A and B are shown apart, each in its own frame.
Chain A
Amino acid sequence: MNTSSSLDASPRDRVTGTPFTRGLGILVLVGMVLLIVLGLFVSPADVNQGESVRIMYAHVPGAWLAYLAFIVTAVSSAAYLWNRTRSLTWDRIAGASAEVGVLFMGISLITGSLWGRITWGTYWTWDARLTTTAFLFVTYIGYLAVRGLGGTHQQRARRSAVLALLAVLEIPLVHFSVELWNTLHQEASVAGRGTNVDMDGLMLFTLFLGVVVFTLMYVWLVLHRQRSLALDDMLDDSGLDNALTARRAEAERMTH
């Protein structure tokens, strides 16, 4: 059985892919090219912001989808904890979504600070939204670390589900307290300055396209990551011995 399975997984085998994700992937690639062309070249510069508005077409959808990803993590964690819908699939969706969320949030923090540098003249301001975003980023890095702690799949799932729900409690508190802290400072108004954009039709369309492309990209990534997590879990279940013998045989083949 082992030999037949390794035959199955020839490099051409699309392991985590299905016809649906393949179609979705093509759609994402086409949309990405279209977004780059529209965002960088076709769409006009903004009256207030000038060319820097172009960063928004990549930044805003990314930040948006990161928030959405964390909401999905919280919802599927709750679904795991609820007895009637308990399934490790929910746990893996939560984990995959958090991972993609951290990726998108990291990207948005970088593109956001690049945009801030040209618009406000500074990479960072202590605006409540920005600070909360940084906290979200670190919190979910911690969440991913907890997922990697080991133990049984059920242990991992329960631990991380509780943690994801605690994050839902934590984030509004952090946001609220940073906002309170910020009202003491004058710089708070910086975030509101120079951000108003007069969107014309094509600019709105480009932003809308960005949101669509990023959403499809998110779905593709989560589906694939969720399946690769399932593969990892199955591998754990089938026992280390199995994998070890396979690796050893592989090493033999390489040396001869």
Chain B
Amino acid sequence: MSNSLKGSLPKNSSTVIATARLIAAKDLRVELRSRVLLNQVLPFALIVMVMFAFALDSDAVLERVAPGLVWLATLFSVLVMVSRSFAVETADGALDQLRSAGVPAMGIFIGKMLALMVQLMVLVALLVGAAVVLYRASFSWEGGVLLVTTAIAATCGLAAVGTLYGGLAAGAKGRETLLPLLLLPVVAPVLIGATRATESAFGTNGIAISEGWPWLGLLAVFAVLFSVAGAVAFGPLLDD
């Protein structure tokens, strides 16, 4: 790209995409080197799944509520992961420096969201595996397709909301306690939609797979709305 073009259009789409790619790659590289997800978040999510079994204390009940527990454990882990994602940025004022260097906020948002989404997909895959092993969940090939689609839509929504509210609370004191309060009410539709869809993928209570697909509409609407809102609102949030 020529310099004159760069000067006249500082926020054109190609810089946004380039920034997003850079930020996402950077976040994933940070994760690969620090292994926080692998060494801390995944074990945390697993122990939550085991603790649910202690609390509910019955194979029949566990089988019945397995889909909900998978997504509940995901939500708990999202809180930890979002905190981590922004702790990396604010630790030495990196976010402020990015902004003062004129990096488009939309690119930062999309990049961080994508990195979070990739990590969430890994987490959900592990939790579904845990549900199969610990809670006797099972799914057919057809259910697997529904499950993967659900996971993509749900993690996209969660990553968008997580990045948006994480950015809002980033850098403020007391953000660790504030983030759950802000985030959990917003992601209620994801919990409802993803749980119902996963129920029919697992065939819990004999629910047919075809009944799961309509819930994907809710997840998709949520993901699209908050991705767009996040991309638009992230700039004003950081530009103080």
Contacts and interface: CB of A to CB of B under 8 A. Distances in A.
* Same complex: yes
Interface of A: 81, 135, 138-139, 141-142, 145-146, 149-152, 154-155, 158-159, 162-163, 165-166, 169-170, 173-174, 176-178, 180-181, 184
Nearest to A139: B185
Nearest to B191: A177
B188 A178 contact: yes
B240 A177 contact: no
A208 B171 CA distance: 47
Query: A interface, by DSSP: helix, strand, loop or mixed?
Result: helix
Given A149-B175, A158-B237, 11 more contacts: A142-B181, A145-B182, A146-B182, A149-B178, A151-B240, A158-B240, A166-B229, A170-B186, A174-B186, A174-B188, A177-B188
A177 B168 contact: no
B130 to A, nearest CB: 24
B168 A151 contact: no
Nearest to A143: B182
A181 B192 contact: yes
A244 to B, nearest CB: 21
A54 B182 CA distance: 36
Contact of B168 (A152, A162, A169, A170): A162
Nearest to B190: A177
A169 B236 CA distance: 17
Interface string B183-216: 0011011001100100000000000000000010
Contacts of A149: 169, 172-175, 178
B37 interface: no
Contacts of B185: 135, 138-139, 142, 170, 174
B60 interface: no
Given A145-B178, A149-B174, A178-B188, A159 B237 contact: yes
B137 interface: no
A176 B189 contact: yes
